[in-house]
Amino acid sequence: MLEVRTGSRLHFGLMELGEGQPLRFGGLGLMTQHPALMVHCDLTDQIPSASDEADRRVVDLIARFRTSATAQVPTRFSAKVASPIRFHCGLGFGTQLACAVSAGLMINGNDWSERFPATDGWNSFAADSARSDGVTLQRLAQISGRGKRSAIGLHGFLFGGLILDRGHVSQSCNTSGGDRSDSTDRHRRSIATEHVAFPKSWQIVLIIPNQSQPIYGQTELELIQAASRSPNRERERMLALAQQCLASARAIDFLGYVGALELYTQLAASLFQEVQGGTFRGHSIELAVQLARRSGLRAVGQSSWGPVVFGFAEDQRSATECADRITRDLPDPTWEVIVTGSARGAQWRKTLE
């Protein structure tokens, strides 16, 4: 059996939405260690029960693989989600799941099975991406069908860290379905992404309100179209701020990082302020932002459409103290508060089970 594990994706906002504009769907994001996703892949013909959304997605993915010219699917191949995950909450699990199953397929579909014996040790997909038969970014995009709009989750799966996506200009792109793309589309975006390792000592605190009415699919597409009626005049400034965030992370300059990110997220929120009814989408998210800021966290914001809210602390002790303050003031005990570090990319291992 092959085990694939990956983290979550935070999206700090897009730089441009307008069709044909520079930096279209470019953005800035970060991979976190938790919440995590674990997928078990095997060369069997066992089909998941499709009892929940994760299993249904796996069934749909494998069915699409078998009808696609881009994927060579072994006669016997199955995958099963082994960890509870939440979709449509701003953590990018749709892309992470598609990438995990696709990467498991790529490994099981070639002779890696013979070259890599079962072991308890974890292997990095990023380390193997330079191989001629490795899991490369373009191949992963082609098979998974993700990265058509934002490529941050796609790049983050493979390499982790703090990710800058410079977007694309392609009037033929079908923008429906989040990161998702149609693998049969002849006109694919070129992936122009880069990343830096996020400092180990810096911590991220996540607040996950129990908010309904997720935004995805057709609803998401309509909101993006409504928000893209005019070009973003601040896109070049946002690009410069994103580059400053990367440079500050590389230099381990916390104040420089959070200062640039605070300005970046303000500008990103302004693109969607009209369609989502304010800087943040809904009362629960606004309350979570207030709690995060009051606790002492910096660069607080909403990931994608939310409801996940993030904030940063310079070290573990500060993050824990902030999380404790937030937990004491939570208006609803079902809300989650998570302290986590940044992820460095998905990993895999083979086991005998």
Residues 230-246 pLDDT 10s: 899 999 999 999 999 99
Residue written as token pair 């991406």: 129
pLDDT beyond 50 at 171:
no
State the total domains in the chain.
1
Domain of 265, CATH number, reads: 3.30.70.890
DSSP 297: -
Cβ contact 335:209 at 8 Å? yes
* Dist CA 144 CA 125 (whole Å): 15
- Average confidence (pLDDT) over 178-189: 43
In sequence order, which residues have a C-beta less than 8 Å from that of residue 132 and are 6 or more positions away? Answer: none
Q: What is the pLDDT of residues 68-125, one digit of tens each?
A: 766 667 777 889 999 888 899 999 999 999 999 999 888 776 544 555 566 668 888 8
Q: Is 151 left (phi over 0), alpha (psi -120 to 50) or beta?
A: alpha
Query: Which of these, 115, 121, 162, 138, lies nearest to 7 by C-alpha position?
Result: 162
pLDDT beyond 50 at 181:
no
Q: What is the pLDDT of residues 13-55, one digit of tens each?
A: 999 999 889 999 999 999 999 999 999 998 887 766 667 889 8
Q: Who wins on pLDDT, 64 or 255?
A: 255
Cβ contact 262:298 at 8 Å? yes
The percent of residues above 90 in pLDDT, for the chain, comes to 56
Lowest mean pLDDT among 62-66, 70-74, 177-181: 177-181
pLDDT-derived band of residue 343, with 50, 70 and 90 as boundaries?
very high
Which tokens sit at 119?
């072991």
Cβ contact 155:193 at 8 Å? yes
| H-run or E-run covering 317 | helix 316-328
Query: Which of these, 315, 352, 314, 321, lies nearest to 337 by C-alpha position?
Result: 321
pTM: 0.90
User: What's the one-letter identity of residue 28?
Assistant: L
Range of the domain at 286: 2-350
pLDDT of residue 133: 65
pLDDT of residue 118: 62
- Average confidence (pLDDT) over 158-170: 89
Which tokens sit at 277?
């009814």
